[in-house]
Amino acid sequence: DTAVSQTPKYLVTQMGNDKSIKCEQNLGHDTMYWYKQDSKKFLKIMFSYNNKELIINETVPNRFSPKSPDKAHLNLHINSLELGDSAVYFCASSQDPRSYEQYFGPGTRLTVT
Amino acid sequence: GQQLNQSPQSMFIQEGEDVSMNCTSSSIFNTWLWYKQDPGEGPVLLIALYKAGELTSNGRLTAQFGITRKDSFLNISASIPSDVGIYFCAGRPFGNEKLTFGTGTRLTIIP
């Protein structure tokens, strides 16, 4: 069984469009994260939610809006997509905010043309 | 923000060789983790370290939490083809709740 899953795996879209990426974890974890990995493979945290509450919000354009309907799901909605948004987006989860053992999903490769 | 420098940036080795890589920071870290990322996949946790000086193994992998709390090391013994990938260190700086990732070490095995 997949522990952390993301959909879609690939997303190709045009500038200006709005898109969403979904994430689900079946590990029973309380905390979920969104990371962005750029073309140089650098991983940077974007957001973190604990039990549906936002606890980390890095300096991310407000075109990015995470939503957590329950603690097993964390979705990422992106408005007005720009070329610079092209990257691989990873969802991750951990037992709680103080557990730094994070488990990652397979990633969503977003390409904005 | 806090940055973690990994060295080397890339490695080209032959199957059966041992591998060493390290991660350094300019400030003290409370937790160190090592991840491996295969192409097209997400990072997978290999080893977690919580105390200065701690030495932990996971099969052929051994990682150490540096005594100064500013570095960590990962060794892979007797490399095999499936060891190919990018290895990332990650750590939690003292007084900071966020996990910071290193720049990665890309391991390639030459036939």
Chain A residues inside the 8 Å CB shell of B99: 45, 100, 102
Looking at residue B69, the DSSP 8-state letter turns out to be: S
Count chain A–chain B contacts defined by CB atoms under 8 A: 49
Instruction: Say which residues have a Cβ less than 8 Å from residue A21's Cβ, sequence separation at least 6.
Output: A6, A7, A8, A11, A75, A76, A78, A89, A91, A108, A110
What does the pLDDT read at residue B46? 96
pLDDT digit of tens for each residue in chain B (111 aa)?
567 899 999 999 999 999 999 999 988 998 999 999 999 999 999 999 999 999 999 999 999 999 999 999 999 999 999 999 999 999 988 777 788 999 999 999 988
What does the pLDDT read at residue B1? 54
Helix, strand, coil percentages in chain B from 3-state DSSP, rounded to 5: 5, 60, 40
Q: Which residue stretches of chain A have pLDDT < 70?
A: 1
Residue A60 identity: V
Asked if A92 has any chain B CB less than 8 Å from its own CB, the reply is yes
- Shortest Cα distance from A23 to chain B (angstroms)? 13
